Amino acid sequence: ASGKGSNFQAIILDIINGRLDAEIKCLIVNNPNCGAIKIAKQYSIPIEIVDHKNHNDRESLDREIINILGEYNIEAIVMAGWMRIVTSKLLNNYPGRVVNLHPSLLPSFKGNKAIKQAIESKVKITGCSVHIVKEEVDSGEILIQAAIEVNQEDNESTLQARIQEQEHKIISTGIALAAIKWRGGK
Ligand code: GAR
């Protein structure tokens, strides 16, 4: 995570409430001040800080992440508001096992500032998507989406609030659908 961690928390709550059969081995953050850290502490989840400012390029950041994850014996990675572009270095280590959440109805509004893009293009419907990560940004297989109406009076923050409500509902299903795939199901 890179931000406030509301989706990270939604995953934790789904696990606690028996809606997702999973175990979170650790939280990796690239921002030492992000809200997700507080949530991890609250639930005694190990925290690893990989500050991107200490790295000259994306591959170097990914190498640090790979080294850390090697210690935790993980099955997959969930980017729950991870605001760095990942490279093939990381993806090749976890093929089909990196899941991302994006605040638009992909393939619309890929990349940065998806909610601003949606408002500026005056779409009537936007939403959120959970997808498998591939190297090309926000282009991997879509697992689940939720649609949200855009109102005339919406601004970025009102729309973001409604998108996040939906994200919290679909993120765990997206993770489960991805796991069925990487474990060889249909
Ligand atoms: C989420 O809304 C997610 O869609 C977005 O960051 C937010 C994190 O919120 N991700 C991206 O924009 C990725 N390109 P959170 O920290 O409260 O979960």
Instruction: Give the model confidence (pLDDT) of 11-42 as tens digits.
Output: 999 999 999 999 999 999 999 999 999 999 99
Ligand 1 binding pocket (C-beta < 6 A) is 1, 3-8, 80-81, 83, 101-103, 114, 128, 164, 167
Q: Which residue in 11, 51, 61, 63 sits closest to 175, CA to CA?
A: 11
Q: How far apart are CA 97 and CA 178, in angstroms?
A: 7
**pTM across the whole model:** 0.97
How far is ligand 1, taken at its centre, from the CA of residue 5, in Å? 8
Ligand 1 nearest atom to the CA of residue 1, by list position? 16
Residues 104-144 have pLDDT tens digits of 999 999 999 999 999 999 999 999 999 999 999 999 999 99
Residues 6+ apart with CB under 8 A from 183: none
pLDDT at 185: 84
Structure tokens at 51: 């500050």
Active site residue: 52, 102, 131, 168, which one?
102
Residues 154-168 have pLDDT tens digits of 999 999 999 999 999
> Which of 101, 112, 113, 129 most suits a substitution to test ligand 1, by most atoms within 8 Å of the C-beta?
101
pLDDT at 45: 98
